[in-house]
Structure 1
């Protein structure tokens, strides 16, 4: 196994792999998650599903619907005669297994950090230790504070000549329940640091060419809430507008660019999972993140932006708000994504496959989304959403046994993508055409 620890990491964290749960923790004992096939019969399937009460597990797409069914609705669901497979036989058991205690993380060559999920406070300690072990070439940064007052903490890395190079900006845990995104970006940070310190030529070339700004928790309040109270929580924890009893805005529907461009791209209902807020950038999280985007744009510029999510295994580029609008850079974005997808597949024992293309045309419509904003307003040369594992066996509750493999394959993909940022590679590559 490749050694990936920074030598100076020595902190010992608590044995529990996730935070202590609140007495109000929502139990999903007996709940099941199903993937219902729709093909071209989406409307007909939705009509049948209207006979029961269910929660969407994820967004509808044109081939299937993933849904969460409570025990009292199971008999009705099974009577509908739908074509489906079971993602979670008992979601409560899956959540329990996901949150089972892991080994303490200590300074050791065979670290268990990427073998289990961890409490939010332990992630902050891990980030601090990474910076301490690379003290001449890193700093801990904050892009502001969350609604509940938590720092939106990240790490800034650079190479020879000091900071001030074009930026690579990574956002993780935008949606609280997407736990896999934080360890993935932490793994990339760890690899960059350990490679640079050991003299690895590739890692040195990356850090000498770019400043990396890596923020594992864009939505810290939501993540803590997902660990302690509601595992499937998605949004931030900001109260809704007056007269609403619902909480939370979807940070990835709250960016200013394209915020109101398409009524299909977000919700105006404060209780919806995709509630976009009352006004563009009316979340404190987004305001701080956008200030950082402007700062980087007005400095040496943003070379690459990635918004890390789960699940579905997609590499998506702008635009999300219009499924027929393609950016002039789409040809090079698509070429790069295809190479990254192929690299991930070939490097992964699981042969993990990623679908790629413009977001609105490839997946579904999104307004006020980060990649569109960071491209249009932040002037990023490359801008993507990456939806991590898996494609529908586990979804948001990805087993801890898949953390390391997910992180490793993404590092392989980033090693290729970071080399492809050289514009000369794309000379002669025109706009991609989609039909």
Structure 2
């Protein structure tokens, strides 16, 4: 399906979901649709898709990966690369390619291809450069949405640099204030065996690892492990001489609070690797001819992420196994737990 005419141009949401529904119908043994894993502010369903070789009723101990795209509405290239990756995975599974069959013998992979579905629709109908949700907040006679990539917990790292409401990075009133992020948080945290998460963005060719909300990459030895993971994914993305990604912590670009990758990495106490990939390019508006080349690179990068997530999981298991038997290893456990948090349940009933 990666040779489909679908990838000859960028597509509005109804065409995206028609295509993904077609993939689901054509590949029932590999792909499953989950219709309503979350809901947008304007009431649109946010679906997820699972790619897996597991059979119904079959008991298999697999790990789980999660990838999402278009949390920022204008970042069409990130979405297209994600759709292309999904199609490529199915093509390779149907062809019986060893790389794919080996990968999915170990993992089930969940995709939420369009997180900000209201905003994405708006980029097609009104304003190509719209970034945020369509939960509009009035300020100084203008209306601005909520940046869904600033709306994640923990609360102690939320909006520490308070911005005016009339800004593209307005984070909302509190973590998970938006129905879309609240629903996705519940969905993600319900997944068994979660071993890695990737948030797809545009642009710049950068592999970003936590943290954006503070200096450094996390308590050791987790920070060093994440640095090695990011570098490995960077290399996999940089197979062409004219395409060279870099790997850095999020704060390398700029300090930001309430980001998805930081929030999930902290929620899982640094034990589940989480990356943001800014796909290659130098603008939010990309030529249609770039869809397949960028998609091919992202497919390679995400496959490598899966391998690295497995290695990271083994490292975590060994780390915590050591702390049970070796009192000299206590510091590593304590360092990791210092990043844990308790999200305030008092906010959970206030979601709109």
TM-score bucket of the superposed structures, by smaller chain: 0.7 to 0.9
Q: Which runs of 5+ in 2 are unaligned?
A: 320-331, 333-352
Corresponding position of 2:171: 276
Corresponding position of 1:351: 242
1:46-99 residue CA offsets vs partner (Å, 9 max, x unmatched): xxxxxxxxxxxxxxxxxxxxxxxxxxxxxxxxxxxxxxxxxxxxxxxxxxxxxx
1:22-63 residue CA offsets vs partner (Å, 9 max, x unmatched): xxxxxxxxxxxxxxxxxxxxxxxxxxxxxxxxxxxxxxxxxx
Corresponding position of 1:207: 104
Secondary structure of 1:367's counterpart equals coil
Whole-angstrom distance in 2 between the partners of 1:228 and 1:241: 21
State the 1:284 CA deviation.
0.9
State the 1:198 CA deviation.
1.4
Corresponding position of 1:292: 187
Question: Which residue, 96, 114, 121 being the options, matches 1:217?
Answer: 114
Structure 1 residues 139 and 325: alpha-carbon distance in aligned structure 2, compared to 1, 3 A threshold: closer
State the 1:262 CA deviation.
5.9
State the 1:325 CA deviation.
5.6
Corresponding position of 1:383: 274
State the 1:336 CA deviation.
2.1
Higher relative contact order (CA 8 A, sep 6+): 2
Question: Which residue, 18, 27, 48 being the options, matches 1:125?
Answer: 18
For the 8 Å contact 2:72–2:116, the answer to whether it is kept is yes
For the 8 Å contact 1:171–1:215, the answer to whether it is kept is yes
Whole-angstrom distance in 1 between the partners of 2:132 and 2:313: 39
Corresponding position of 1:183: 80
Whole-angstrom distance in 2 between the partners of 1:227 and 1:211: 32
Corresponding position of 1:418: 306
State the 1:207 CA deviation.
1.6
State the 1:338 CA deviation.
1.5
State the 1:409 CA deviation.
0.9
Q: Which runs of 5+ in 1 are unaligned?
A: 6-109
Whole-angstrom distance in 2 between the partners of 1:226 and 1:262: 26
Whole-angstrom distance in 2 between the partners of 1:288 and 1:426: 30
State the 1:324 CA deviation.
3.7
Question: Which residue, 191, 197, 200 being the options, matches 1:305?
Answer: 197
Question: Which residue, 47, 52, 57 being the options, matches 1:153?
Answer: 47
Corresponding position of 1:196: 93
Whole-angstrom distance in 2 between the partners of 1:367 and 1:342: 28
Corresponding position of 2:133: 236
Structure 1 residues 116 and 358: alpha-carbon distance in aligned structure 2, compared to 1, 3 A threshold: same
- Does 2:256 correspond to 1:366? yes
Secondary structure of 2:274's counterpart equals strand
State the 1:421 CA deviation.
2.5
- Calculate the TM-score normalised by the size of structure 1: 0.67
Secondary structure of 1:189's counterpart equals helix
Query: Which is helix-richer, 1 or 2?
Result: 2
Whole-angstrom distance in 1 between the partners of 2:10 and 2:117: 15
Could you say what the CA RMSD is over the residues aligned between the two structures, in angstroms?
2.6
Whole-angstrom distance in 1 between the partners of 2:293 and 2:155: 35
Whole-angstrom distance in 2 between the partners of 1:170 and 1:371: 11
Corresponding position of 1:333: 226
- Does 2:62 correspond to 1:165? yes
Whole-angstrom distance in 2 between the partners of 1:204 and 1:125: 26
State the 1:417 CA deviation.
2.4
Whole-angstrom distance in 2 between the partners of 1:164 and 1:288: 26
State the 1:258 CA deviation.
5.0
For the 8 Å contact 2:217–2:223, the answer to whether it is kept is no
Secondary structure of 1:307's counterpart equals strand
- Calculate the TM-score normalised by the size of structure 2: 0.82
Secondary structure of 1:357's counterpart equals strand
Corresponding position of 1:409: 297
1:253-273 residue CA offsets vs partner (Å, 9 max, x unmatched): 001225645633xx5322100
Corresponding position of 2:124: 227
